[in-house]
Structure 1
Amino acid sequence: MEPNIEKRTMRKISWRITPFIMLLYFVAYIDRVNIGMAGLTMRGDLGLTASMFGFGAGIFFWGYFFFEVPSNIALHKFGARVWIARVMVTWGLVSGGMAFVEGPTSFYVMRFLLGAAEAGFFPGIILYISYWFPARHRAGVTSFFMAAAPLSTAIGSPITAGLLKMHGVMGLNGWQWIFIIEAIPALILAVVVLFYMTDKPEKARWLKDDERTWIVDAMKAESASKAGTAKHSIVAGLTNPRVLVLAFVYFGTSAGLYTMGIWAPQIIKQLGVSNMAVGWLNAIPPLVSVVAMVLWSRHSDRTGERTWHVVLACLAAVIGLVVAASANSIIGLIAALTLVNIGISCAKPALWSMPTMFLSGAAAATGIATINSIGNLGGFAGPAMIGWIKKTTGSYAGGLYFVAALLVLSAVLTLLLARSQKPQLSAGEALAD
């Protein structure tokens, strides 16, 4: 077999898959967090207090929690193409329905249903990546996929702010137009998924015969190399101690990510800038974090080190949150929020490279979903606590300190998990077993 077959095959697979899954996550993340920009006027129109808004924004993740594992098992059984398309149709319809909430109760119900509808998408894509990319390529690909989240904030914030100006068009408020218009791409892309996605390498007619043979053999060899130690059953994916620890590590990073996605616009707004200025300023931190994420994950892949790439990134986010809590100028606040975004974004690709190294098959499907469903409850805890503390104290500072503490816990748990793998492995390799 020719020497450069790996390079040629991986280049073709990367160009085929990576931009497309980035586009899907771009749309998914906008529909999750556009509530942050919509809230600039929605809260007043619906009479939502800070605690109501934080609770409703975060309850999305309870829907995720209850339906994530069953959804990922279904994806493993029915294939990514059909299941991802199904997920996108349901979340697109519910996201558009957010335009018609009338008060706290309907707001809570629709956010919960949106989480239930979208459950399975993110872990499904992480599982899908493990079908196509050998472990040594996985963190880099995952970083590009996850870069869609900060990119969606960077690009989507000014657009969403602009949609607020549609207030009064056809008798609807600007925030209603946000949900209606930004739900449409999910419905269109659901159809595209059915025709474009390929479930597994064996079915890839767009690869040459030798390329398809190489990737199939490479993935089989990797699976065989894990046969003695990797867990394969559904129960193993749910109960593996490393899965549960990684879920709590992810809890802290999710609290940070969704605190920024949901509350950053209103934290910026309190310094007295216009809604459109909020949109542009809110775009800066995630834009910078994209570059940092790609470089950091490439370094992680190149060195094979995962633990410290998670720990140092979490600690950077902690510093940013502490500084943001006391920032009283636009420049200082945006600089602090940029550091938070860099830290959170950089932690995730190395973290998500870990579970598929010790799980495969149905165990990988359930393990990834378990990490995501439990971990994403941080997306409830962070925004909800921010809202409650803001209502109680009149300041965002206490909530930001709370989220910083969760990220410290994530860093500590990552180190403890690495230490628990010794003496078989070094701390740098421990979580990449």
Structure 2
Amino acid sequence: MSPAPPQVDARVAEATIRTVTLRLMPLLGLMYLIAYIDRQNISYAKLPMVGDLGLSESVYGLGASLFFLGYFLFEVPSNVILERVGARRWFARIMLTWGLITILLGFTQNTTMFYALRFLLGVAEAGFFPGVLFALTLWFPQSHRARMIGWFMIASALANAVGAAIGGALLDLDGTLGLKGWQWVFVATGLPALALAVIVLRILPDGPDQAPWLKPEGRDWLSRTLAAERESGGKVEHGNPFAALLDRRVWMLASVYIAFPLAAYGLSYWLPTVVRSFAVSNTLNGFINIIPWLITALALWWVPRRAARTGDQVWHVVVPGLVAALALVLSVVVPGSVLKFACLCVAAAGVFSAQPVFWSLPATFLKGASAAAGIAAINSVGNLGGFIAQNAVPFIRDQTGSNLAPMYFLAACLGLGASLMFWVLSALRRDAARRVAADAGAGLRVA
């Protein structure tokens, strides 16, 4: 069979990418929205929960951060299993278990139960975010991935917006049906995960070959394109996927990525404090918190599109990170709550919009199960930033007696991470060029 003319392939490609995007991304985005709300709901429930259970700030901080420890320990094995059993069954399992544990958090009785459930929530959710990143490599060519990751991560911004609004409203249900407001936060946010687990199990294909809504010519074009990319020079698939954990490129990316989750969870600490200074009700407080996440959603749409248009990857990761670090510093030095709030809006947009382009990079040098393990390793190490932030922030505040000092620490970490990101990404680009040249030379010698 002769290859299709370029203009035919272009039409098929455009139609196929559009179909996959419309069929896949809304579902994945909804899954992430629910996941992010279930991860963040503890920040909305904090104040009344701490008072009712008699938890100290340090006990709360450790319990909240144990999520990241469970996430860290089980993320790589979870992603390797996903690569073997398929996204449909594994995503449904993840959502079912995290929904059940979230509901159980609403009936927490003591410190030990709080610690255990937060750790188990991390175990349950481990592998979801990197699993989606890996699944996108099975559906989209490299040139489209950053934009798709941006669309996917918009759900995290919307989750912060929706979560802030419903978190405040649920707290105001205090006493309804005999449940306290903080209990409603956990029960009401856990139930959607259970419902969506059933939907995912029924309608999510494991890959293009199982998608009944793809036309044969579109499925053929996508299979050929993805296969050609997997076999392109410089990509590695280890015999044992866990060998990806020894790849120095994985650790280079993980070491600099840690600054971004650290700053993100710092934002979740400082933003409610600033908004609270507006002296409004819980419900109105939640609606004010929507503003920074709508701005973040816009940045997540614009930055990956601009990166794809210009072909530049490095600066579309580094610049947003540096802008966010500066905005964090300004948020504690400028006068007035409104200006502080505006700076935090910019910081949130910078922290999150740097990540779609970043997450398109591991699949440029890893493939198959090695890509699944490598992406999970980067994310699990990076998310230790959340563990660090949720312990360092209250510690620094207790030692200094200031709500401002922790933000200088977080801004410094983000500024350092973004600066080192320039060096790491430049080194990866040079390494990729060397490997492609070496593979081409080996091919010529064999010929």
Above 0.5 in TM-score?
A: yes
**Alpha-carbon distance in structure 2 between the residues aligned to 1:267 and 1:392:** 21
Q: Does 1:153 align with 2:160?
A: yes
Kindly state the Cα deviation for residue 262 of structure 1 after the two structures are TM-superposed: 4.9
Kindly state the Cα deviation for residue 64 of structure 1 after the two structures are TM-superposed: 0.3
Q: Does 1:304 align with 2:321?
A: no
CA offsets 1:345-373 (integer angstroms, 9 cap, x no match): 11110110110111001110100110011
Contact between 1:123 and 1:368, CA under 8 Å: does it hold in 2? yes
**Alpha-carbon distance in structure 2 between the residues aligned to 1:15 and 1:422:** 32
Q: 1:366 aligns with which of 370, 373, 376?
A: 373
**1:62 corresponds to:** 69
Across the aligned residues of Structure 1 and Structure 2, the Cα RMSD in angstroms comes to 1.7
Moved more, 17-26 or 150-159: 150-159
**Alpha-carbon distance in structure 2 between the residues aligned to 1:158 and 1:26:** 14
**What amino acid maps onto 1:257 in structure 2?**
A
**Alpha-carbon distance in structure 1 between the residues aligned to 2:371 and 2:155:** 23
Kindly state the Cα deviation for residue 230 of structure 1 after the two structures are TM-superposed: 2.8
Kindly state the Cα deviation for residue 171 of structure 1 after the two structures are TM-superposed: 2.0
**2:119 corresponds to:** 112
Kindly state the Cα deviation for residue 29 of structure 1 after the two structures are TM-superposed: 0.1
Kindly state the Cα deviation for residue 105 of structure 1 after the two structures are TM-superposed: 2.9
Q: Does 1:170 align with 2:183?
A: no
Kindly state the Cα deviation for residue 421 of structure 1 after the two structures are TM-superposed: 4.1
Contact between 1:243 and 1:371, CA under 8 Å: does it hold in 2? yes
**What amino acid maps onto 1:13 in structure 2?**
V
Moved more, 284-293 or 400-409: 400-409
**2:196 corresponds to:** 189
**2:206 corresponds to:** 199
Contact between 1:26 and 1:149, CA under 8 Å: does it hold in 2? yes
Q: Does 1:343 align with 2:350?
A: yes
**Alpha-carbon distance in structure 2 between the residues aligned to 1:15 and 1:258:** 31
**Alpha-carbon distance in structure 2 between the residues aligned to 1:74 and 1:35:** 29
Q: 1:397 aligns with which of 390, 398, 404?
A: 404
**What amino acid maps onto 1:57 in structure 2?**
A
Contact between 2:67 and 2:120, CA under 8 Å: does it hold in 1? yes
Q: Does 1:246 align with 2:253?
A: yes
**1:44 corresponds to:** 51
Moved more, 314-323 or 324-333: 324-333
**Alpha-carbon distance in structure 1 between the residues aligned to 2:284 and 2:358:** 34
Q: Select the structure of larger CA radius of gyration.
A: 2
Q: 1:216 aligns with which of 220, 223, 244?
A: 223
**What amino acid maps onto 2:405 in structure 1?**
G
**Alpha-carbon distance in structure 2 between the residues aligned to 1:384 and 1:123:** 24
Q: 1:258 aligns with which of 250, 262, 265?
A: 265
Kindly state the Cα deviation for residue 270 of structure 1 after the two structures are TM-superposed: 4.9
Kindly state the Cα deviation for residue 415 of structure 1 after the two structures are TM-superposed: 1.6
**Alpha-carbon distance in structure 1 between the residues aligned to 2:366 and 2:23:** 25
**1:429 corresponds to:** none
Q: Unpaired segments of 5 or more residues in structure 1? A: 427-433
**Alpha-carbon distance in structure 2 between the residues aligned to 1:262 and 1:116:** 23
Kindly state the Cα deviation for residue 161 of structure 1 after the two structures are TM-superposed: 0.3
**Alpha-carbon distance in structure 2 between the residues aligned to 1:177 and 1:60:** 20
**What amino acid maps onto 2:139 in structure 1?**
W
**Alpha-carbon distance in structure 1 between the residues aligned to 2:22 and 2:188:** 29
CA offsets 1:56-107 (integer angstroms, 9 cap, x no match): 2222100000110110010000000000000000000011111112333322
Q: Does 1:269 align with 2:279?
A: no
Kindly state the Cα deviation for residue 263 of structure 1 after the two structures are TM-superposed: 4.9
**1:386 corresponds to:** 393
CA offsets 1:145-201 (integer angstroms, 9 cap, x no match): 011111111122111100101111122210100100110110000000011111111
Contact between 2:235 and 2:364, CA under 8 Å: does it hold in 1? no
Q: 1:288 aligns with which of 291, 295, 306?
A: 295
**Alpha-carbon distance in structure 1 between the residues aligned to 2:12 and 2:238:** 29
Contact between 1:293 and 1:345, CA under 8 Å: does it hold in 2? yes
**1:230 corresponds to:** 236
Q: Does 1:377 align with 2:381?
A: no
Secondary structure at the aligned position of 2:258 is classed as: helix
Contact between 2:277 and 2:337, CA under 8 Å: does it hold in 1? no
Kindly state the Cα deviation for residue 325 of structure 1 after the two structures are TM-superposed: 2.3
CA offsets 1:178-234 (integer angstroms, 9 cap, x no match): 1001101100000000111111111222111111111111111111114x5434441
Moved more, 296-305 or 131-140: 296-305
Q: Does 1:131 align with 2:162?
A: no
Moved more, 57-66 or 45-54: 45-54
**What amino acid maps onto 1:166 in structure 2?**
L
Contact between 2:296 and 2:349, CA under 8 Å: does it hold in 1? yes
**What amino acid maps onto 2:267 in structure 1?**
M
**Alpha-carbon distance in structure 1 between the residues aligned to 2:110 and 2:412:** 32
Kindly state the Cα deviation for residue 411 of structure 1 after the two structures are TM-superposed: 1.2
Contact between 2:172 and 2:282, CA under 8 Å: does it hold in 1? no
TM-score, normalising length: structure 1:
0.94
**1:355 corresponds to:** 362
- Across the two proteins, how many residue pairs are aligned to each other? 425
Kindly state the Cα deviation for residue 306 of structure 1 after the two structures are TM-superposed: 1.4
Secondary structure at the aligned position of 2:231 is classed as: helix
Contact between 1:40 and 1:275, CA under 8 Å: does it hold in 2? no
**Alpha-carbon distance in structure 1 between the residues aligned to 2:426 and 2:133:** 26
Q: Unpaired segments of 5 or more residues in structure 2? A: 434-447
**What amino acid maps onto 1:80 in structure 2?**
A
TM-score, normalising length: structure 2:
0.91
Q: 2:89 aligns with which of 82, 93, 103?
A: 82
**Alpha-carbon distance in structure 2 between the residues aligned to 1:110 and 1:236:** 31
Kindly state the Cα deviation for residue 300 of structure 1 after the two structures are TM-superposed: 1.1
Q: 1:11 aligns with which of 18, 29, 32?
A: 18
Q: Map 1:28-39 to 2 at 5 A.
A: 28-39=35-46
Classify 1:324/1:52 alpha carbon distance in 2 versus 1 (closer, same or farther; 3 Å).
Answer: farther
Secondary structure at the aligned position of 1:198 is classed as: coil
Moved more, 281-290 or 260-269: 260-269
**Alpha-carbon distance in structure 1 between the residues aligned to 2:199 and 2:268:** 27
**Alpha-carbon distance in structure 1 between the residues aligned to 2:108 and 2:431:** 55
